[in-house]
């Protein structure tokens, strides 16, 4: 009885609230507020500013003198996948360390952990969207975060650049959020390069693939297989492991029975290390060459694979043009700041994303004589979309209509033990594809 009464008591105020709650701002107030602020800002400084900032549909960020320009990260910096996000975050930090000030304002990095899962992406995106002082977001780490996260960020008028979310769906014109861009490679591009190289470059017609159950790996394998089959090749084994597995010998034994000529396993450094070292122990696979993708393009993988790395192929951005900056500037700076070599593969993409944001801010920001900055969100997004021929660590970046900004020119590198022992960096490995 008591309980039933309290339930009634709960319902009653609902009607009360409906009846007497105060009138509140129009529903579009989220968009309206910044606009008003911008109008006020423009008005007060109108005489001095030659081009008064006209607020675009997404509003304007105003940065008062002494306030920082805020860039936010939305990366997985905690939990099982934290290396992925921490690596990218370091790339951002190094880019900011290179240019701590922009147009007279300091650049401040804030951000949220997004957990490498959909719910973490949603929560982090909602929080970032609530902060009206953020100019741009770098993230997400995983594609699963961006699927719910990108629309939230985008609807809030923000623009995001992902250094490592590679799933094709994110830049599919049907489903893409308008504010989503990425410096990471679309799986379709990288999968195709791998397939071309194996089929045409090496002339091998029978491959086996392994993915580790992460969306990155599964997506890349899917794209690879599609391109490879289209070329006329045969996928003789399609296997999967779990990202926590350490013993790959059983799955490799199964694969060996189908007699593949080549093994494609675009996973991460740890899993890549296990597969590469254990592959040599399995009868029938000792001499079968293997190939990974940019998730394994890291010194950690080379170390984890040990001697077995000899003859391994890795697809990655083509460093032959831009590689020297990476090796001569970025890596030493990284070592000095964090005392370890990069822990995953997307720091350079994050570094480039940060610099693209810098360039776009410089392009669209309007500055008052007292130092106040106005950044129109729509113009900023357009400026990012118009990025063209941007020379970054990961190549020559141009954003296409769907938000894919990564250099479409990918290379395949061959890792020779002699090069590793000679102390050569990853970017100085033998480039085997595309052939000139």
Q: Name which of residues 144 to 183 contact other proteins (CB under 8 A).
A: 144, 147-148, 151, 167, 169, 175
Q: Residue 213 or residue 289: which is nearer to other proteins going by CB?
A: 213
Q: Residue 187 or residue 318: which is nearer to other proteins going by CB?
A: 187
Q: Residue 234 or residue 388: which is nearer to other proteins going by CB?
A: 234
Question: Which residues, numbered 49-68, are part of the site for other proteins (CB under 8 A)?
Answer: 65-66
Q: Residue 5 or residue 422: which is nearer to other proteins going by CB?
A: 5
Q: Residue 122 or residue 315: which is nearer to other proteins going by CB?
A: 122
Q: Residue 339 or residue 418: which is nearer to other proteins going by CB?
A: 339
Taking CB under 8 A as the criterion, the residue among 200, 277, 367, 391 binding other proteins is: 277
214: left (phi over 0), alpha (psi -120 to 50) or beta: beta
Provide the minimum distance between the beta carbon of 29 and other proteins in the complex, in angstroms, as a whole number: 7
Provide the minimum distance between the beta carbon of 294 and other proteins in the complex, in angstroms, as a whole number: 17
Neighbours of 331 (CB within 10 A): 19
Taking CB under 8 A as the criterion, the residue among 38, 58, 77, 356 binding other proteins is: 77
Q: Residue 118 or residue 333: which is nearer to other proteins going by CB?
A: 118
Taking CB under 8 A as the criterion, the residue among 1, 5, 401, 422 binding other proteins is: 5
Taking CB under 8 A as the criterion, the residue among 43, 234, 303, 421 binding other proteins is: 303
Question: Which residues, numbered 304-363, are part of the site for other proteins (CB under 8 A)?
Answer: 304, 306-307, 338-340, 343-344
Taking CB under 8 A as the criterion, the residue among 88, 94, 135, 270 binding other proteins is: 270
Instruction: Provide the angle, in degrees to the nearest 10, between the axes of the packed helices 347-364 and 82-98.
Output: 40
Which residue, chain included where needed, has tokens 């395949």? 412
How many whole angstroms separate alpha carbon 238 and alpha carbon 228? Answer: 13
Question: Which residues, numbered 388-427, are part of the site for other proteins (CB under 8 A)?
Answer: none
Provide the minimum distance between the beta carbon of 119 and other proteins in the complex, in angstroms, as a whole number: 6
Provide the minimum distance between the beta carbon of 59 and other proteins in the complex, in angstroms, as a whole number: 13
* 369 in Cβ contact with 396 (< 8 Å): no
How many whole angstroms separate alpha carbon 283 and alpha carbon 292? Answer: 21
Provide the minimum distance between the beta carbon of 389 and other proteins in the complex, in angstroms, as a whole number: 33
Provide the minimum distance between the beta carbon of 409 and other proteins in the complex, in angstroms, as a whole number: 26
Q: Residue 254 or residue 324: which is nearer to other proteins going by CB?
A: 254
Question: Which residues, numbered 93-122, are part of the site for other proteins (CB under 8 A)?
Answer: 110-113, 116-119, 122
Taking CB under 8 A as the criterion, the residue among 157, 273, 292, 392 binding other proteins is: 273
Count of residues that bind other proteins according to CB under 8 A: 98
How many whole angstroms separate alpha carbon 66 and alpha carbon 423? Answer: 46
Q: Residue 142 or residue 383: which is nearer to other proteins going by CB?
A: 142
Question: Which residues, numbered 204-263, are part of the site for other proteins (CB under 8 A)?
Answer: 211, 213-215, 217-219, 222, 238-242, 244, 246-247, 249-251, 253-254, 257
How many whole angstroms separate alpha carbon 203 and alpha carbon 183? Answer: 31
Among the listed ranges 95-103, 127-135, 360-368, 398-406, the one in contact with other proteins (CB under 8 A) is 127-135
Q: Residue 304 or residue 399: which is nearer to other proteins going by CB?
A: 304
Q: Residue 112 or residue 376: which is nearer to other proteins going by CB?
A: 112
Q: Residue 74 or residue 429: which is nearer to other proteins going by CB?
A: 74
Cβ burial of 298 (10 Å; 0-12, 13-18, 19+) is buried
Taking CB under 8 A as the criterion, the residue among 41, 82, 315, 433 binding other proteins is: 82
How far from 106 is each of 64, 161, 372, CA to CA, in Å?
11, 20, 12
Provide the minimum distance between the beta carbon of 245 and other proteins in the complex, in angstroms, as a whole number: 8
With CA atoms as reference, report the closest residue to 391 among 435, 429, 351: 351
Question: Which residues, numbered 14-33, are part of the site for other proteins (CB under 8 A)?
Answer: 14, 16-29, 33
Provide the minimum distance between the beta carbon of 57 and other proteins in the complex, in angstroms, as a whole number: 14
């Amino acid at each position: 009885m008591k309980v039933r009464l309290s339930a009634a008591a709960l319902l009653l105020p609902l009607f009360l609230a409906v009846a007497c709650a105060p009138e509140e701002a129009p529903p579009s107030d989220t968009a309206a507020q910044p606009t008003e602020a911008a109008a006020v800002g423009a008005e007060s400084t109108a005489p001095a500013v030659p081009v008064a900032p006209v607020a675009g549909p997404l509003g304007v960020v105003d940065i008062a003198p002494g306030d920082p320009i805020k860039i936010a990260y939305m990366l997985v910096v905690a939990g099982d996948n934290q290396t992925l996000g921490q690596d990218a975050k370091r790339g951002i930090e190094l880019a900011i360390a290179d240019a701590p000030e922009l147009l007279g304002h300091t650049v401040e990095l804030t951000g949220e952990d997004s957990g490498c899962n959909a719910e973490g992406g949603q929560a982090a995106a909602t929080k970032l969207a609530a902060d009206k002082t953020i100019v741009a977001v770098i993230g997400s780490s995983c594609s699963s975060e961006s699927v719910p996260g990108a629309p939230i960020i985008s609807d809030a008028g923000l623009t995001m650049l992902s250094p490592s979310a590679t799933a094709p769906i994110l830049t599919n014109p049907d489903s893409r959020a308008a504010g989503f861009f990425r410096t990471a490679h679309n799986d379709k591009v990288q999968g195709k390069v791998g397939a071309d190289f194996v089929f045409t470059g090496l002339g091998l017609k029978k491959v086996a693939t392994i993915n580790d159950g992460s969306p990155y790996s599964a997506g890349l394998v899917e794209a690879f297989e599609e391109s490879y089959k289209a070329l006329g090749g045969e996928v003789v084994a399609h296997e999967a492991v779990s990202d926590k597995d350490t013993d790959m010998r059983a799955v490799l034994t199964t694969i060996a029975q189908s007699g593949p000529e080549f093994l494609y396993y675009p996973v991460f450094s740890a899993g890549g290390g296990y597969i590469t070292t254990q592959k040599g122990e399995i009868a029938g696979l000792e001499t079968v060459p293997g190939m990974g993708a940019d998730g394994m393009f890291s010194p950690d993988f080379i170390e984890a694979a040990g001697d077995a790395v000899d003859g391994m192929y890795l697809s990655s951005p083509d460093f032959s043009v831009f590689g020297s900056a990476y090796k001569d500037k970025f890596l030493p700076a990284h070592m000095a700041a964090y005392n370890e070599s990069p822990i995953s593969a997307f720091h350079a993409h994050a570094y480039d994303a940060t610099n693209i944001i810098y360039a776009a801010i410089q392009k669209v920001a309007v500055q008052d004589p007292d130092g106040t900055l106005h950044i129109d969100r729509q113009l900023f997004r357009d400026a990012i979309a118009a990025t063209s021929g941007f020379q970054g660590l990961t190549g020559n970046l141009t954003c296409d209509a769907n938000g894919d900004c990564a250099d479409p020119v990918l290379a395949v590198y061959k890792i020779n033990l002699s090069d590793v022992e000679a102390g050569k960096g990853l970017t100085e490995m033998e480039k085997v594809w595309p052939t000139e």
